């Protein structure tokens, strides 16, 4: 994977929308059923909105009913980082981009086979590259 991406808040603010900055850099959360990708069905790759790190593919995306884009596995475990999140009086596992540290969402153990995981991501933290018809 490429080198770590480190920028100041001012640099992030200059390249991201206010919502993207709040979610990806300040660990915010978009409201359920409002994000660009929660009910999105194109084939391709989901990338970190901050650094372009390829994170998830449409092959592992599924409708979990939670209102956020959900995946049962990342493209590669090395592309994400996880840590305990004890905010709001609960313990969850936060998922971040391993390249730039952007907050992506949380992972839960109530997903489908084959992993049993639900990576519940914020659309504001993602961008998307459509799979071309000849791509594998």
CATH code of 77's domain: 2.170.150.20
What predicted TM-score, i.e. pTM, was given to this entire model? Answer: 0.93
Residue 18 inside a domain? The answer is yes
50 vs 7, 38, 54, 89, CA distance in Å?
Answer: 10, 19, 11, 28
Residues of the domain holding 91: 9-130
Residue 23 inside a domain? The answer is yes
Q: H/E element holding 11?
A: helix 9-15
Quick check: is 100 catalytic?
no
88-116 confidence digits (pLDDT tens): 888 999 999 999 999 999 999 999 999 99
25-70 confidence digits (pLDDT tens): 999 999 999 999 999 999 999 999 999 999 999 999 999 999 999 9
Residue 121 inside a domain? The answer is yes
What's the confidence (pLDDT) of residue 88? 84
Coil/strand/helix, residue 125 = helix
Q: Which of 48, 50, 51, 120 is catalytic?
A: 120
Task: Decide if pLDDT at 136 tops 80.
Answer: no
Residue 3 inside a domain? The answer is no
Residue 77 inside a domain? The answer is yes
Total structural domains within the chain: 1
Residue with tokens 């992972």: 107
Q: Identify any residues that bridge with 46 across adjacent strands, giving them in sequence order.
A: 56, 128
Q: Which residues of 53-69 are buried (b: 16+ CB within 10 A; e: fewer)?
A: bbbbbbebbeebeeebb
């Amino acid at each position: 994977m490429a080198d770590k991406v480190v920028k100041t808040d001012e640099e992030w603010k200059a390249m991201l929308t206010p919502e993207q900055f709040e979610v990806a850099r300040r660990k915010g959360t978009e409201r359920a059923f409002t994000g660009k990708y929660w009910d999105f069905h194109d084939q391709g790759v989901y990338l970190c909105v901050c650094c372009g790190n390829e994170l998830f593919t449409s092959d592992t995306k599924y409708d979990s009913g939670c209102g956020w884009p959900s995946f049962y596995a990342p493209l590669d475990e090395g592309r994400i980082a996880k840590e305990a999140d004890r905010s709001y009086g609960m313990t969850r596992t936060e998922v971040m981009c391993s390249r730039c540290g952007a907050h992506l969402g949380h992972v839960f153990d109530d997903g489908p086979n084959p992993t049993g995981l639900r990576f519940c991501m914020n659309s504001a933290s993602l961008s998307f590259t459509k799979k071309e018809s000849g791509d594998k």
